[in-house]
Structure 1
Amino acid sequence: MSFLKQEGKSLADIQDVASPALTLNTELVSAINSLVQKCQTASPVEAQNYRKLRTFSGLTPTPNGEEDYEVWAEHTTHILEEWQCSDNVKKQRLVECLRGPAADIVRFVKVENPSATSCDYLKALDTAFGPTENASDLMVKFRNTFQEKGEKLSVYIIKLDKLLHSVLRKGGLKSSELNRLRIEQIIRGALPDDMVALRLRMTHKFCEPPPFTELLKEVREEENMIHNRSTVQATVTVSSVASDKTDSADCEVELLKKEIRGLRSEMARLLSAAVAPVTSDTPKMHSLAVTTGRSALSKAGGGENIFCYKCGENGHFKQDCANEKNLRKVNRLIKMRRVMGNYPGAQ
């Protein structure tokens, strides 16, 4: 305050001097903010949407980490079409991903034509590394591509669409003709026993040809439905076969049980007949039969050929002998008969 008094100033004078400076700083900040907003608005959109392209060199065989030209060209063309940026930026991004012979091709094009566009670069690369067939040749190849045995219709459609885009890149057709040509070739080239293709043959004339995504989605859904239906039918068939086998096995078991019961009853009957009690008449009948046989043998003249093993006399057996034992005579007769070879055996 003493300083202000010496200078002849007051506090109000200081506030008047400070307020213009404060106003100046505020205007400067506002101007800077406006400049930043303008810079952000004017910044290229391509910097936000930039995606690095895949590397391609054109070397043969294809190095590790790279793809062949057909796959690379299709991917690069698709990305360049999506980018909303200037053609200079597209050329810059395209040159960044090229190596070796591919980079040389683009450099030659730039030297010959400094105003060449990114499409000119792609055409030069296609001439150097792409297929040698022209649009007509590729269309003939498309017309002669058929569904193979065991190949799904969805896989066949993807294969056809790849050929169609090759023809499109060669300038052999317009993009508006893709759907019509695709459905026509599916009708021609699909297998006759494919159920999904059969449905397309019956209905394609009643509606406009669908685009690729809708057609592929519809075909895959039908293929999945047919697969699930066949799986369920196979499961039911296996179950019925298993039940039939179980029923036949049960029938065989029942038959075996019946046969076993019959065998058991037959065995019991035979055992009961084998152990049947012998009646009192059985010995008498046996003795009568033996006596009758012996008497018949004696009457037939066989009495002189037999002798008694008790007394040694001829004409009767030991069971019928009433004489005393004479073992010496019996042994002598046995020895004589052995020498003569007329030994009847033990009685």
Structure 2
Amino acid sequence: MDIQSVQAELVTELREWCEGEFLDEETALFALAPRGHEVAEIEETLGTVKAFGRVRVRGRKFNTKLNRLSVLCETREKLDPTKIPPDVKHPTTEDSWPVIIVGERTALGDAVKTPLKSLLDASASNDSAESIIRAVGDLLSKIEKPSGENSSYRRLRMFSGTLPTPAGEEALEHWLEQARLMVEESDCSIKEKRRRIMECLRGPALSVVKAVRTAEANVTPSKCLDAIESAFGAAESGEDLYFEFRLLQQEKNEKLSDFLRRLEQSLTKVVSKGGIPASRVDVARVEQLLRGAIHSDLMLIQLKIRERKQNPPKFLELLAEIRAEEEYAAARVKLSTSVHRVHANKEVDGRQTEILTLKAEIKELKTLFATMKTEPCQEVGDDNDTVPVPVSSVEFWKCRGSSAEETSV
């Protein structure tokens, strides 16, 4: 009897056998071996398959329909259906032992074989490229895309709604932003999105979502996030948020680009609450930029923002222009500072030269003064060309006294 015709029966038998032996279906397999093989030989033969790992026989019984031994085996690791071969060959006799597992390997194999067979038949009967392309298209359409339920994703951080925000948790605004991004961009099911949200909640926030699910069992992930925002967010209307937006001003030493990003964050909240229609976003952004940028008037003039008020640029375009102008201004300031530093260094060098010259002159005067103190009084001749030698003040007065006495005599 063909194994494929009783495939479903064998899988059902494997499930029942695993339940009776208390085995995990993900680590169990069913081998159909000929009669006359011992347990050790069966384990050794199945052990030749690397995907099985270490195999242990847990039960044996004879199948009269297939005239083979049905051997229940257990592996140490969980089996990957994509890596399990449909049969195992005995190393000596080269006999094929069919292998049955609880998985989707057989179903996937059948789904792929039929289109492949049709592709080969089409190629054999008609060698045109059009028929081959059509067959390949049919093959790709029949192969199911892998489910995103177990795909890797960035886990949301914990949120409890407690204030102040505990360590390791995210603030409400940041958490809601990441959660809404996951709901909008992820291609997994609604149930999986809801599970991802609930697994990151605890405390009061988890209680709120549980209450919402009690009232509506199949509540959407977006409604769960709306409930959290209503329970823990600021109770502000769209008009209140728009009024706060119109009061924003540039802080001292704040770059114009940073102020624009702050405006955009506030403007996004206003639009989400219905404070202004989305069609007026660009106009409102430019108006408040002109009103609130009190420390960047010159840059606004250089960018001609006021002249473009009737046809305002988009956020990213405006941000790119402002950042380019800021970098240009920073480069000008850096160049000016460099030139000023060079001039300052030249002035310092000139002053140092003057100081050294003065020090040398002072040292020379000190030496001359010391010489005047130490040298004795010398007679001065009548020759007018003779230069008197300097003497100390004491010797000078002594000489004056001697000259006076001689004159009186």
| TM-score in same-fold range (> 0.5) | yes
Q: 2:266 aligns with which of 136, 160, 163?
A: 163
Contact 1:191 1:197 in 2 (8 A): no
The equivalent residue for 1:31 is: 110
> In structure 1, the residue corresponding to 2:338 is in which secondary structure?
helix
Asked if 1:58 corresponds to 2:137, the answer is no
Post-superposition shift, 1:259? 7.3
Instruction: Please show how residues 1-347 of structure 1 align to structure 2 within 5 Å.
Output: 31-34=110-113, 41-45=144-148, 47-48=150-151, 50-202=153-305, 205=308, 208-254=311-357, 274-277=377-380, 289-291=407-409
> In structure 2, the residue corresponding to 1:41 is in which secondary structure?
coil
Bigger shift: residues 241-250 or 137-146: 241-250
Q: Which whole-Å CA distance do the structure 2 matches of 1:180 and 1:203 have between them?
A: 11
The change in CA–CA distance for 1:103 and 1:29 in structure 2 (over 3 A counts) is: closer
Q: Which whole-Å CA distance do the structure 2 matches of 1:138 and 1:57 have between them?
A: 25
Letter in 1 for 2:408: V
Letter in 1 for 2:281: L
Cα deviation code 1:211-265 (max 9, x no counterpart): 3333333323322332232122122212212211222333454466567778988
The equivalent residue for 1:345 is: none
Contact 1:139 1:167 in 2 (8 A): yes
**What is the aligned-residue identity percentage?**
30
Q: Which whole-Å CA distance do the structure 2 matches of 1:89 and 1:210 have between them?
A: 40
The change in CA–CA distance for 1:112 and 1:266 in structure 2 (over 3 A counts) is: closer
Q: Which runs of 5+ in 1 are unaligned?
A: 1-26, 280-284, 292-347
Q: Which whole-Å CA distance do the structure 2 matches of 1:139 and 1:50 have between them?
A: 35
TM-score normalised by structure 2 residue count: 0.53
Q: Which whole-Å CA distance do the structure 1 matches of 2:193 and 2:303 have between them?
A: 41
The change in CA–CA distance for 1:123 and 1:34 in structure 2 (over 3 A counts) is: farther
Q: Which runs of 5+ in 2 are unaligned?
A: 1-105, 115-138, 383-402
The change in CA–CA distance for 1:101 and 1:132 in structure 2 (over 3 A counts) is: same
Post-superposition shift, 1:137? 0.6
Letter in 1 for 2:177: E
Structure with the higher helix share, 1 or 2: 1
Q: Which whole-Å CA distance do the structure 2 matches of 1:288 and 1:119 have between them?
A: 126
Over alpha carbons, which structure has the higher Rg? 1
The change in CA–CA distance for 1:52 and 1:39 in structure 2 (over 3 A counts) is: farther
Q: Which whole-Å CA distance do the structure 2 matches of 1:134 and 1:141 have between them?
A: 11
Cα deviation code 1:66-95 (max 9, x no counterpart): 111111112222232222344333223222
TM-score normalised by structure 1 residue count: 0.62
Q: Which whole-Å CA distance do the structure 2 matches of 1:205 and 1:287 have between them?
A: 105
Count of aligned positions: 262
Q: CA RMSD in A?
A: 3.9
